[in-house]
Amino acid sequence: MKIAVVGSSGRMGQMLVREVMSREGCVLSGATDRKGSDFIGRDAGEVAGLGACGVIIQDDPAPVIAAADVVIDFTRPEATEEHLRLAAQAGCAFVGGTTGLNDAQKQAIELAARHIPVVFAANMSVGVTLLSALTKKIAQVLDDDYDIEIVEMHHRHKVDAPSGTALLLGQSAAEGRNVVHDDVKQAVRDGHTGPRPKGEIGYATLRGGDVIGDHTVIFAGEGERIEVTHKASSRHIYASGAVRAAFWTKGRKNGVYDMADVLGLGD
Ligand code: NAD
């Protein structure tokens, strides 16, 4: 399988180049980065720290995407929108992990998916995808006598709270309980809050050090408590999930998929 990595000199891009180069059954067919980047013209393997692989980083994504079976994109929302359009034109499957897409950019995913298979997920890790499926299942079984709280911790540089992954877990819990997440979400508690309303999904945010991402979903009932936890200790898990998704696109029908589909956990 020919895999192209766009944004190949970014933190995730380099991780993806290493992952593609070291996996059996696929080759790195092309690499790009933004116009004006210092990395244009350099060897993608060298930039990723693995030594030269003969793939030179380009600033024009069109021919790179046209020559690939799958393109993997962890870049910026406006770049992702363009890459989706080019992939749809070229009939190249798409795996995307870029976060922070606005509504128009999310619409671009749907439009592209009319022509190609698109796997898109805000968290590509196999472990978080499993945690999310488990959270939904547990919430389906337990009623609202069990209070749901989601605790997350990230490094001190993170700018948003709760994390996108924590919100994804809350959304899974709400789906399991058959309620609208925004109606029951409680992300801030401070001062005299009064007793906890029944049915609330609460969030607690911790920040500090270099923590890549810890998430725990707590179901607290009378006499027992169930806790499910995921701890990321390397960003490698996102790259390895993305390459797994790239393999999975082979022979798929056009449409939008997520990591739960890739792992066979979809509804
Ligand atoms: P980064 O800033 O290190 O890398 C982004 C790369 O994209 C840079 O090399 C940049 O030059 C490049 N880029 C920007 N515009 C481009 C364009 N028009 N064409 C080609 N390349 C372009 O960021 P990062 O930490 O690698 O994260 C990238 C994205 O992936 C972010 O949105 C982040 O939130 C997301 N992310 C998702 C997951 C997941 O599991 N889904 C995991 C980690 C990061």
Q: Mean pLDDT for the chain? A: 96
Task: Tell me the pLDDT tens digit for each residue of 163-178.
Answer: 889 999 999 999 999 9
Cα dist. 210→22, 67, 181 in Å?
27, 38, 30
User: What is residue 84's predicted lDDT score, i.e. its pLDDT?
Assistant: 98
CB of residue 238 inside a 6 A radius of ligand 1: yes
β-pairing, 70-73 vs 2-6, is parallel
Predicted confidence band of residue 160 (pLDDT cuts 50, 70, 90): confident
Task: Tell me the pLDDT tens digit for each residue of 172-227.
Answer: 999 999 999 999 999 999 999 999 999 999 999 999 999 999 999 999 999 999 99
Decide if pLDDT at 54 tops 70.
Answer: yes
Of 257, 175, 249, nearest in space to 266 by CA: 257
* Span from the CA of 98 to the centroid of ligand 1 (angstroms): 6
- Which atom of ligand 1 is nearest the CA belonging to 99? 32
Amino acid present at 186: Q
**Mean pLDDT across 84-113:** 95
Number of other residues whose CB lies within 10 A of the CB of residue 24: 4
* Span from the CA of 32 to the centroid of ligand 1 (angstroms): 12
Task: Tell me the pLDDT tens digit for each residue of 65-85.
Answer: 999 999 999 999 999 999 999
Instruction: Write out the two tokens for 8.
Output: 């190949």
Decide if pLDDT at 267 tops 80.
Answer: no
- Which atom of ligand 1 is nearest the CA belonging to 124? 40
Q: What percent of the chain has pLDDT over 70?
A: 100
CB of residue 10 inside a 6 A radius of ligand 1: yes
Q: Exposure pattern of 134-169 as b/e (b: 16+ CB <10 Å)?
A: bbbebbeebebebbbbbbbbbeeeeeebbbebbbbb
Decide if pLDDT at 39 tops 70.
Answer: yes
Q: Which of 47, 59, 74 to mutate to test the pocket of ligand 1 (most atoms within 8 A of CB)?
A: 74
User: What is residue 45's predicted lDDT score, i.e. its pLDDT?
Assistant: 98
Q: What percent of the chain has pLDDT over 90?
A: 94
Among this protein's residues, is 154 annotated catalytic? Answer: yes
Among this protein's residues, is 215 annotated catalytic? Answer: no
User: What is residue 257's predicted lDDT score, i.e. its pLDDT?
Assistant: 97
Q: First vs last Cα of the chain: how many Å apart? A: 28
Helix axes 236-248, 126-141, angle to 10 degrees: 80
* Span from the CA of 73 to the centroid of ligand 1 (angstroms): 7
User: What is residue 99's predicted lDDT score, i.e. its pLDDT?
Assistant: 84
- Ligand 1 atom 8: residue of nearest CA: 10
Number of other residues whose CB lies within 10 A of the CB of residue 238: 24
Catalytic residue among 83, 106, 137, 158: 158
Interatomic CA distance for residues 168 and 16, integer angstroms: 23
Query: What 3-state class would DSSP assign to 118?
Result: strand
> Taking the model in full, what pTM does it have?
0.88
Predicted confidence band of residue 265 (pLDDT cuts 50, 70, 90): confident
User: What is residue 128's predicted lDDT score, i.e. its pLDDT?
Assistant: 95
Catalytic residue among 136, 154, 215, 230: 154
